[in-house]
Structure 1
Amino acid sequence: MLITVYSGGFKNKDEGMGQLSITVSELHLFMDGMLLMMFLYMLLLFVQQRKKIYSLYALYILCITIACRLNEASYHLPSYKPGTNYIVLLFESLAFLLYMRFVILLMNLPRFDPISLKFLRAMELFLIGAVALDTLLWASKADANIRSTFYSISRFILAAIGLYVIPRILRIRNVVTPYFIIGSFFFILGCIVALVMGVTPYMTPSVWIQGGVVLEVLFFTSGIGYTNYRTEQEKIAVQAQLIEQLQENERKQSRLNGIRDEIARDLHDEIGSHLSSINILSQTIVPLVHDERVQQRLSRIGDSARQVMDSMREIVWSLNSSSDSLLNIGLRIQETAYSLFADSSTRLFIQIPESSQPLGLSERQRRELHLIVKEALTNVLRHARADQVWVNLDVDVNDVTLHIKDDGIGFDSMLEVSGLGMKNIRERASQMGATYNLTSSPESGTLLQISWRVVTNH
């Protein structure tokens, strides 16, 4: 197969295939279409991710495409000289400035290569100065040869600095670095070839520039695709690590629950039996002792043993992992309430949901909740003069609320009343991460509400 290039375009000669020709204009149109599609792709990425780097790159593609299209229209004019079309110069310079801004963000030069950053800053200032000088020459209608020569020199200087900076950036360890380096090389190579070749019977400079830009954009978009792939893989790895960590935490929590349950059993079986023996012995010995002081001391020993047994039962209950269920906590509240009001004429109404739903309370929080109930009911028993008391445990999705209400004489809930223990209840509610609400009046009695959110993993 033989491919020849002529002023009208490319001619493909093959004896068995006939003849196919592509003009330079058609080639430009094809590359314009590619670049505009890439512009839309970058614009879509910017809209989706709101990253400045994509907006800079999209504008760069648009500006360089416009510059090449405008430049192509002036190549065949008798008066054409490189760099003498002021509008083309502006779009081209803006494209270069956008590209340098893009490189600074892409490679994070302020952090990884401050020296390259200084060179790019110098290139920006040099380019701005060159545009300003060309503006003065254009406004003063200077000779076209002077403007063209100045344009060529300035572009060779920019290309030389760019070729110096690229190897420096290669040292930066970045996923997208190889794609950027190869793409930038094609872009700069296209610009240099365009400057050297100029307008020939077979090719125009913008073809080389656009070809370099197309290759540069293709490599960069490939780098974006690979970067996104790496990011997804890293996310999957992190998710797998988090899942493994959660599973390990569950295994540790299960082992911890087993240790707590074993401690609870030991406390109940060993210490509980000894305390019970002390209590029974103190009661059986009292009738055998005739000294009243000894009898009093033996009675105090028995009372102390019973108090320690009650406290130990609370500790054992709070340590046991099965105590975290809604039903178990409700039954404990019910047991405490009936025990306190066993010898009282006050009527108790207790409503506890029959549910094994875990409440996500730690042993410390379960103990605080039990002490809140015990202290609140003790206050009612001692001070409220109530005929009826209602204790409800309500569940609404993931919110649990304890209601303790009485029809007693009430009190001013805005005042600090000594002996009522409201301060202790507030502090305990705060320690278990619950909200506290209290209302009281002589007409409607007192209502205490303790609310908290269920957390399944604590």
Structure 2
Amino acid sequence: MHRQLLIFFFLIIYNLPASAQLQNPGRDTIRVSSFRLFRPISNETGIFIDSTRIVNTEHILRLPGLQSIPLAMNRKLSPRYIGKPCFLQFSILNDTDSSTSLYFLPGFYFNNINLYKWKQGSGKFELVSSSSTGQTVNRNVVRKLDLAPGEFAVYITELDFIKTTVNTITPTLTYEYYLPLLISQFQNERRLSSIITYLICGIMLMMIFYSLAAYYMNRNSAFLYYSAYAGLLGLMFFLKAYMFKRPTGSNFYFESYFDFILQATGTIFYFIFLRRFVNARAEFLRLEKVLYSVQLLTVGGMILFTFFNFFSDEFRWQNLTENFIKYAWSFSTIFFIGYALFNRSQILRYLAIGHTFLFAGGLLSLFLINSSHRFANAVSPLINDSLFWYEMGILFELVFFLVALSFKNRQDISARAREKERLLMEYEKGAMEKQMAILAAKQEERNRISADMHDELGSGVTAIRLMSELAKAKMKDYTLPEIDKISNSANDLITKMNTIIWTMKSSNDSVDNMIAYVRAYAAEFLDNTDIRYRVQYPDNLPSIELTGEKRRNIFLCIKESLNNIVKHARASEVLISFKIGPHLVIQIHDNGTGLQPDTMREFSNGLTNMRKRMENIEGHFSIRTHEGTIVTLSIPLE
């Protein structure tokens, strides 16, 4: 009903006289002589946004409800006007005596610009031919106005905005020669912000190289996702700065569609990176679920955004989808910050600090995009630049990401060191167990051989000795010397075999057992001599392991020493002492004649053998004269 009344009212207005139709109420006529290079004409231009589509462009008599251009439209057009026909009306007088050609720039960005001029003969506004402007400028940026000397003209411009939130209405007139400079001037409005953007792009490029290097060193696929994130966002920032207010079709496509696709795709890669970087699936399951859900939501939002962009004329649904996805990102950021505050992970806390800056910058950027409100004009234009705040959020997020990465690298180095130490300990444990198994097998074999020698060889040799003694007893005074040799050899063989058996038995591998065996041997060996002996050792003998090889070599050295004392020393006493410390020190001290040059040759081979035996077990041998002869044997126990 309201629409029908409005159309009826509109038709009544169209039937007004032509003199009324040429009026531009409340606005001054623009005079050509009033400007030199260019002139903004916002104050002289009226605007009408045809939300209900009541204007018939084939028969325009006048515009209903013509209003002044709000100041906010010079900065940003409200998204609710996108997709609605927008009409601008102004009047101009060529108060010069020559024909004049002017160029009209209504603002940025438009899919189409239709220029209508009042024709007195037809009594309506007629479409001006869309001939070339003669400039290398997109025809959807400027229109040419031709005025005869003294001509008064009224123009209406129909504007079709592209689907973006950065559209502006800044109607301006200029001359042909100044047109390129004027467009450059519009592009330079964001010069300082563009410099900052290029610096951010350089930092993002460095992060790409760093991430690729980190992947090459660690083979962690998370860094590939971060390099993709940095690359896509860096490309978006670069194109934002490079294409700002460039009158090209590629810029229209970028501003209306591709910038959000770059941002959303980069954000998806960032979510994947973040989940893998903090190992959310294994350590932070709730965070994993939220990030993964927002990641899927972003993919769905990109599909809807693409559909509304290419298959729908309603920009509000496309803009609503974009805003919804960005608010979802903000929600995930808030959740991440809160989750990190209640979690003891230091890495999450570093990342949360960065995400706090990112959230603040993104929220302020989103406010400036979706609102016509701005900060005071006295402050720097940067403060009112939505992209600047988003870039600052990204920059600080990047700084604290590097801090978190440094902390994580230290953790990884420590973890790798611990893992390496664990593997080394497992290897050493395995090697030790293997060595112990080998030793156990050796000990078992030694015990088996010693048991066989005792049971088989021992009984046989003992039988030989007994039979030789029986033969000697039967022969009485007619004993053969060979039988004595057999008996002595059997006795000697039994002694040596007992020594070998004692050496091989693993149960004898201790210092106290060796001392007991030496004491028993000395008592038996010196029993039929006039030499008295003493064996000294600590009262409390510690349990110290001494291998069979060491026991055998030590015993043979002691045996050789006692044999030399009996044969050459002419001693009446022998002291065998054992001292236990880091080394086992054994001294055989007799009170005989000491070392005599005339007797050295007789037992020099024995001394050489004793020295070699001690060297074979990493011991030390020495012999000296002091109130007799002192033989010292030293063996390390550690």
The reply on whether 1:424 has 2:469 as its aligned counterpart is no
Contact 1:391–1:404 (8 Å) recurs in 2: yes
Deviations 1:103-161 (A, max 9, x none): xxxxxxxxxxxxxxxxxxxxxxxxxxxxxxxxxxxxxxxxxxxxxx9999999789768
User: How has the CA–CA distance of structure 1 residues 185 and 381 changed in structure 2, closer, same or farther, with 3 Å as cutoff?
Assistant: farther
Match for residue 367 of structure 2?
Answer: none
1:35-434 matches, cutoff 5 A: 163=208, 166-167=211-212, 170-172=215-217, 174=219, 177-178=220-221, 200-201=382-383, 203=388, 208-243=394-429, 245-288=431-474, 295-353=480-538, 357-396=542-581, 398-411=582-595, 417-420=601-604, 421-434=606-619
Work out the CA distance in 1 between the residues paired with 2:590 and 2:554: 19
CA distance 1:384–1:289, change in 2 (3 Å): closer
Match in the other structure for 1:48:
none
1:432 positional shift: 1.5
Structure 1: how far apart are the matches of 2:450 and 2:541?
A: 20
Cα distance in 2 for partners of 1:188, 1:438 equals 83
* Amino acid across the alignment from 2:548: E
Change (3 A) 1:184 1:377: farther
1:363 Cα deviation after fit? 1.8
Matched residue type, 2:637: V
CA shift in 2, pair 1:426/1:186, >3 Å: farther
Please report how far the alpha carbon of residue 287 of structure 1 lies from its aligned counterpart in structure 2 after TM superposition: 4.8
Q: Would you say the 8 A contact 1:372–1:428 is kept in 2?
A: yes
Secondary structure, in 3 states, of the residue corresponding to 1:410? coil
User: CA, structure 1 residues 347+290, in 2 after alignment: closer, same or farther (shift >3 Å)?
Assistant: closer
Secondary structure class of the residue paired with 1:392: strand
In the TM superposition, what is the alpha-carbon distance from 1:274 to its structure 2 partner?
0.8
Aligned counterpart, 1:446: 629
- The aligned length equals 301
Report the AA paired with residue 222 of structure 1.
Answer: K
Distance between the aligned counterparts of 2:412 and 2:226, measured in 1? 15
Match of 1:435 among 613, 617, 620: 620
5+ unaligned residues in a row in structure 2: which ranges?
Answer: 1-193, 242-380
Provide the TM-score with structure 1 as the length reference: 0.55
* Cα deviation, residue 338, structure 1: 1.9
- In structure 1, how many angstroms separate the alpha carbons of the residues matched to 2:436 and 2:489? 40
Greater mean alpha carbon deviation, residues 200-209 or residues 314-323? 200-209
Alpha-carbon spacing, 1:196–1:422, altered in 2? closer, same or farther (3 Å) = farther
Q: 1:252 offset after TM fit, Å?
A: 4.3
> What is the CA distance between 1:393 and its match in structure 2?
1.1
| Alpha-carbon separation, structure 2, partners of 1:290 and 1:236 | 77
CA distance in 2 between counterparts of 1:222 and 1:179 reads 13
AA matched with 1:338: A
> Is contact 1:436–1:451 with CA below 8 Å preserved after alignment?
yes
Report the 3-state secondary structure (helix = DSSP H, G, I; strand = E; otherwise coil) of the residue aligned with 1:170. Answer: helix
Distance in 2 (alpha carbons) for counterparts of 1:181 and 1:223:
17
Mean CA deviation greater in 318-327 or 379-388: 379-388
Higher mean alpha-carbon deviation, 304-313 vs 352-361, is at 352-361
CA distance in structure 2 between the aligned counterparts of 1:189 and 1:409, rounded to whole angstroms: 100
C-alpha contact (below 8 Å) 2:205/2:231 kept by paired residues: no
Higher mean C-alpha deviation, range 366-375 or range 402-411: 402-411
Q: How far has the Cα of 1:179 moved from its partner?
A: 6.2
Shift of 1:361: 2.6
SS at match of 2:632: strand
**224 and 183 in structure 1: CA distance in 2 versus 1, 3 angstrom threshold:** farther
CA-CA distance at 1:231 after TM superposition: 3.5
In 2: Cα distance, 1:194 partner to 1:214 partner? 20
- The verdict on how the C-alpha distance between 1:193 and 1:351 changes in structure 2, with shifts beyond 3 A counting, is farther
1: distance between equivalents of 2:222 and 2:623?
67
Give the deviation of 1:430 after TM superposition: 0.8
CA distance in 1, matches of 2:540, 2:433: 26
Deviation for aligned residue 1:173: 5.1
Supply the distance in 1 between the matched residues of 2:209 and 2:427 (Cα, whole angstroms).
42
Q: Secondary structure at the match of 1:349?
A: strand
Q: How far off its partner does 1:226 sit?
A: 3.6
CA deviations on 1:366-410 (whole Å, 9 max, x unpaired) are 1101101001121222222223211011212x4321111122222
Q: Is the 8 A contact 1:182 1:216 kept in 2?
A: no
The answer (yes or no) to whether the contact 1:282–1:301 under 8 Å persists in 2 is yes
Cα distance in 1 between the residues matched to 2:441 and 2:418: 34
1:235: Cα distance to partner? 2.9
Is residue 388–residue 407 contact of structure 1 (8 Å, CA) maintained in 2?
yes
Alignment partners' CA distance in 2, 1:193 and 1:446: 97
2:635 maps to a residue whose letter is: W
Q: Deviations over 1:240-277 (max 9, x none)?
A: 45445534544543343233222212211221111111
CA 1:418 to 1:287, structure 2 compared with 1: closer, same or farther past 3 Å?
closer
Q: CA 1:219–1:153 in structure 2 vs 1: closer, same or farther (change >3 Å)?
A: closer
Structure 1 portions without partners, runs of 5+: 1-148
